[in-house]
Amino acid sequence: MDFDAIILGAGVIGLATARQLALAGRSVLVLEQFARPGTETSSRNSEVIHAGIYYPRNSLKARLCVRGRELLYRYCDAHSVSYRRTGKLIVATSPDQRPALAKILAQGHANGVSDLKLIDRQCLSELEPNLNAIEALYSPSTGIIDSHGLMLALQGDLEAHGGLVCCNSPVTGLKRRRDGCFYVEVGGVDPTTVSCRLLINSAGHGAQTLSRLLQGGDAQGIPPVFLSKGCYFTVSRRLPFSHLIYPLPSNEGLGVHLTLDLAGNARFGPDTEWVDRLDYRVDPARSAAFYQAIRAYYPDLRDGELVPDYAGIRPKVAGPGEGPGDFMIVNQRTHGILNYIALYGIESPGLTSCLAIAEEVCARLRCHEKECSLPNSPITKQQADYENSNHR
């Protein structure tokens, strides 16, 4: 056997999971089809550290976002990853929106986000004088992060503990061996086959396709694929905001919001467009709907200011009109394959949740090993030793 574990996909989730396994003393290989890690979903988002407010109570999104936010801030401090706790304002622009704001507050409290508070118009005018709103929900623990810096830190951490990341290495085949281990066929310039005992599928948009390679005609536990495109627009001037500004969420997303990067530059998005293929071009004509949405809370946005920036495509497991859906972390109990875990629908708040998702995956692997009377992973002790070392 070549490796204890192979992780398919070097996005932020794959890197975080690989790091967690490497800290446990596992030999780990991460396979990435593109030339560098995080090329798709992990680098095409708002780079927001979410508090965990919106998601249904006891959902994976709620639980792993709240836990992940705590872990992520600590990790950034320990590894010099750039971030800032900007705080976030979810705004009501008319009296009829106040009940929805109160409902979001109650949902956040139910999820364990205890620092939320409602802010009236007078307080808002002091915080953000250029904001058009009559009330807002303030989330002080929301922030922004350098997502590329985070992925570099996770990769460096992984490699410092013996893990490997191989880019330009598309997976072309997956097979189960008779002894329960796995063969992974790798294409690219130098095709090869490697083997492992633990296989983690965190391939984002390609996760369902890879599971079908492994499971053959048995599609048990493989959800359908839905692609939700979100475009971002930016402006050339500095805008007079210091907080992230969010409208009330819709059934399909959090609305066109204003976020800031670490240099203080503003961008708006994402919107929602259901698509049937991966196409990251931004249609300038979509700006018309952006102007209308943004001016509800920032009426001073000027005509012609919005400039197309970039787009991301959410790998969703729920389609139009079905609500946001939850993370899916599918293991043996669903698909019947020992030591194989597949992750589907890891959209927002996946970036915030990455370290907590890694914990969850490793916990489920330990459960598999215990049930099969295999040696337990030393991850708990070694992880604790590492986190208490001088890396903190």
Q: What is the pLDDT of residues 82-115, one digit of tens each?
A: 999 999 999 999 999 999 999 999 999 999 999 9
Q: Where are the domains of the chain?
A: 3-46+148-223+325-387, 88-140+226-316
Q: What is the pLDDT of residues 233-281, one digit of tens each?
A: 999 999 999 999 999 987 667 889 999 999 999 999 999 999 999 999 9
- Going by C-alpha positions, the residue among 260, 254, 351, 322 that lies closest to residue 55 is 254
Query: What CATH number does the domain located at 88-140+226-316 have?
Result: 3.30.9.10
Q: What is the pLDDT of residues 15-65, one digit of tens each?
A: 999 999 999 999 999 999 999 999 999 999 999 999 999 999 999 999 999
Region of residue 293 (phi > 0: left; psi between -120 and 50: alpha; otherwise: beta): alpha
Q: How confident is the model at residue 74 (pLDDT cuts 50, 70, 90)?
A: very high
Burial (Cβ within 10 Å: 0-12, 13-18, ≥19) of residue 243: buried
Query: What CATH number does the domain located at 3-46+148-223+325-387 have?
Result: 3.50.50.60
Q: How confident is the model at residue 386 (pLDDT cuts 50, 70, 90)?
A: very low
C-alpha to C-alpha distance for 175 and 185, rounded to whole angstroms: 8
pLDDT of residue 368: 58
